Every structure is written in structure tokens, then in C-alpha cells.
A and B are shown apart, each in its own frame.
Chain A
């Protein structure tokens, strides 16, 4: 990336408190949801399986098992719709292999 683009990206970054987390950590993501006139907060809890991109374009993928079916959502880290990211359990407590991309969890039997 051009250094001037990186500089302007860091300037535009919102002053949000984002905990340091890695793939394998268990996360609780609070998302703003608009329903007609009303807005409410929805919580998505699961394991972070990947982080991608740098600067403002950074995203992370969270996977959870919902009613026996695997569900994955990709969130942009700096989206204004992400109210809060809470670290529930680190990857070490989860006893997961240290990987940058935890895609093997998709095939893992539960």
C-alpha cells in the first residue's frame, strides 16, 4: 500500500476499542440491526476462524454451530455496525492448533 494511503486510513480509523484477538479465539460480536424504524443490538457468538486484510479493510470470520448447522459470518472490523467485540476465551484455553486460518474446523466432527 502507498504510505500516503496508509496514513489517511489510520487517520480515518474510528476511535473504537477493539480487543486484540486471533483466529481460534471465542468471540461475542454485538451488531447493530435496523428493523424498520427501530435499531437493536444482535449478538453473534462463535469462534474466529480467520482474519484478512489490513488497515480499514480488515475483516474477520466468525463460525458457530447453530441447531447442528455450521454458520459463518464475515465482519469488517471498523464497520460502524459493529458495536462491540468481546473476547470470551483465548485460543489457548480452547486447546486449538495455532493457525492463521482455522478452516480445518469446518471439517472437524463435533
Chain B
């Protein structure tokens, strides 16, 4: 079964292996999540499971969210996310069910989606790693992008790398390894870095490009 859960990035630390090697790990707090709705072919045209994370008080929730969660017999949830899957995969999942970190095993591959740290409007050197020109001797080309096109075609080609907003964008990192799971704390160590800052919301799912054993 391929499934995903919502969680929070708590920060990074390191772990020592027996031979003294240092492994950089990200600490994620994942779940518990609740199934709020199941999409089906008759009314929605496809199959999928909708999960929610982070219970909030009825006062804080909008009426639409509160009503939607109430239908599933749940308290209002702050974050809601849909995961598309085959009908056969969704068989064991019922509306209102709690799903926790135990669906992830140590050594498994996962994909983590988050909102990357916003860096504002950045030039071409920081944003795309352009080399820039010389700093001195009247160069006037220090951090400029240079030419953005020729005389033919008489326009700038789409996708040309230019200055603009950097970061604060949805980013997915694929095939990260679950290094350790702490089921009673809902915590997880993931080898390597994950997009976003501390306390940012992340979506963790079984790696799309790896096989999951049944």
C-alpha cells in the first residue's frame, strides 16, 4: 500500500553510526492523521483518500471545514490533503480512521514535499548559479545575466533563466531514506535535508519511484 501523511519539520541533527560515521538527519513529526473522505468513481470520477492533520477547536475552523470533518465523525482539522490511489489500495481504509507513523518502516524510501524557505526577489547569480562578470576594471557586468537572446528569433525564448522570486515554492525531494522511527513519539529521522524551515508543514509519502513491499 502506498500512503502518505502530513507532518511537521522540527529541525536537523546528526546520528553516529557504529564505526563513527556521522549521518545528517532531519527530525519530522508525522501524524497522527485522520481519513476525512474517500473519493470514488461514481461521484468524483476517480479514487483517492483525503486525510487531515492537526485538530483545532470548532471556533477556529470555518463552517465548511467543520461540517466536512463532522461528517467523518472527527474534530475540525487544520490541514487537509488528498492522495490519489487505486481502488484496491484504498480497500482497508475507512472514513474516520486514524493513520499514524507506523505505516513507515526504517530503511524505506519516501518522498517529502514542503514549501521551501522564501529568499525574496533574487538576481541571476544567486537564483540560477550564473557566474557573473568581473568585479573591477570597468566591467559593468558584475552580477548581470548577459545576453538573453539573439536577433533571430526576434523574441526571448520561454523559460529563459532570469531574476525573480526564489524559494517559497512547493518542492518535493524524492527517494529519501527513513533512518529511524519513534512510533510512541510520532517522530521520524530522515536521512538528508527536507524543504522548508522549522515548524513548516510537510507531506511525507512512500516513494513514487520505488516498489513498496506488500
Chain A positions near chain B (C-beta within 8 angstroms): 1-2, 4-5, 8-9, 12, 32, 34, 55-57, 76, 78-81
| Alpha-carbon separation in the docked complex, A106 to B50 (Å) | 61
Q: Which of A5, A8, A79 contacts B20 (CB 8 A)?
A: A79
Q: Which of A2, A5, A12, A81 contacts B15 (CB 8 A)?
A: A12
For the complex of A and B, the 4 pairs showing the least CB-CB separation, nearest first, are A81-B20, A2-B10, A5-B11, A2-B11
Whether A80 pairs with B10 at a CB distance below 8 angstroms is: no
Interface residues on B, range: 10 to 19
**Closest B residue to A82 using CB positions:** B20
Chain B positions near chain A (C-beta within 8 angstroms): 10-16, 18-20, 22, 27, 29, 182, 185, 187, 198-199
Known: A4-B10, A4-B187, A8-B182. A80 touches B29 (CB 8 A): no
Chosen A-B contacts, 9 in total, with CB atoms closer than 8 Å, are A2-B27, A4-B10, A8-B185, A9-B13, A12-B15, A55-B13, A56-B15, A79-B20, A80-B20
Whether A80 pairs with B16 at a CB distance below 8 angstroms is: yes
**Closest A residue to B20 using CB positions:** A81
Residues of B within 8 A of A12 (CB): 15
Q: Which of B11, B16, B18, B199 contacts A76 (CB 8 A)?
A: B16
Residues of B within 8 A of A9 (CB): 13
Q: Which of B14, B15, B27 contacts A4 (CB 8 A)?
A: B27
| Alpha-carbon separation in the docked complex, A5 to B11 (Å) | 7
| Alpha-carbon separation in the docked complex, A5 to B29 (Å) | 10
| Alpha-carbon separation in the docked complex, A55 to B199 (Å) | 20
| Alpha-carbon separation in the docked complex, A55 to B29 (Å) | 20
Residues of A within 8 A of B199 (CB): 2
Whether B10 pairs with A5 at a CB distance below 8 angstroms is: yes
**Closest A residue to B24 using CB positions:** A57
| Alpha-carbon separation in the docked complex, A9 to B27 (Å) | 10
Residues of B within 8 A of A34 (CB): 19
